[in-house]
Amino acid sequence: MKKVIFSDEEFEENLQHLNRLMEEAEILPYPNAKELIFSILKYFDSVHREPLSRMMEMLKEKDPSLRKDIEGDFSVKTMLGLYDLVEVKEPEPTVEKDKVLGFVSMEEVTVLNPEKNKEWLELGNVKDLVEKKLYAKNFERVNFLISKVDKKVYAVENQCVDSILPIDSGKLEEHFLICPWHGCRYDLKTGIAENHPQKKLEVYPVEIEEDGLLKVEISY
């Protein structure tokens, strides 16, 4: 397929730049501006996802071979993957065989996965939570949301997997959280996406004390 405007590398660079801009928008000190940005993105997303979904269904019915060719294009597949219209597999890490490693002193060894800080946050009385309402919270740049479903409280990451978009404007169906951007259905109990087991939101421990005080343990 002929490349137009951007090469695959340039397309990926633009996508990474967009993600960085979204991260900056996430920490804006002006709540109204932040809400406006994400509201615009929400509608921007919806007016793209619907026609793309219809287009892929038409291709599936009328020209499966063309659909296969389209899905083979890097930039097109990346975009369709953002809307959960195709499955995008993560590349497997390459392992170099028969490679002899030189001696590394203990002073040069660093912890690849440093232990995260953990802190219990007090979030008020559980009785104040409205059933099946999503509450967005932020602590130390950790965005998470809490919700009470069938008198049980859940706390999960407030960011759709493979995206930096918040999902607190989504909706709940029983104990499933539906992403407003891509339609992903996450189980609040496990954080796992219903139709994509490889996608998983981080789940945070929840405790309720005898006096009803709600506490959530956040890692950062």
Please tell me the number of Cα atoms within 13 Å of 123 on its side-chain side: 28
Res. 75: pLDDT tops 70: yes
End-to-end distance of the chain based on CA atoms, in angstroms? 43
pLDDT band with cut points at 50, 70 and 90 for residue 16: confident
CB 158 within 8 A of CB 143: yes
Nearest partner of 204 among 138, 125, 107, judged by Cα: 138
Nearest partner of 146 among 164, 161, 128, 162, judged by Cα: 128
pLDDT band with cut points at 50, 70 and 90 for residue 47: confident
pLDDT tens sequence across 146-195: 999 999 999 999 998 877 788 998 999 999 999 988 888 999 999 999 98
% of the chain residues with pLDDT over 70: 80
The mean per-residue pLDDT over the stretch 137-151 comes to 91
Mean pLDDT (the chain) is 81
Res. 89: pLDDT tops 80: no
The mean per-residue pLDDT over the stretch 209-215 comes to 95
What burial class does residue 120 get, using C-beta atoms within 10 Å of its C-beta: 0-12 exposed, 13-18 middle, 19+ buried? exposed
Res. 40: pLDDT tops 90: no
- Residue 143 one-letter amino acid: N
Domains of the chain: 8-82 (no CATH), 118-219 (2.102.10.10)
Give the per-residue pLDDT at 14. 74
Give the per-residue pLDDT at 95. 53
pLDDT band with cut points at 50, 70 and 90 for residue 205: very high
Res. 30: pLDDT tops 80: no
Cα–Cα dist 68/119, whole Å: 48
pLDDT tens sequence across 92-128: 555 555 555 555 555 555 555 567 788 999 999 999 9
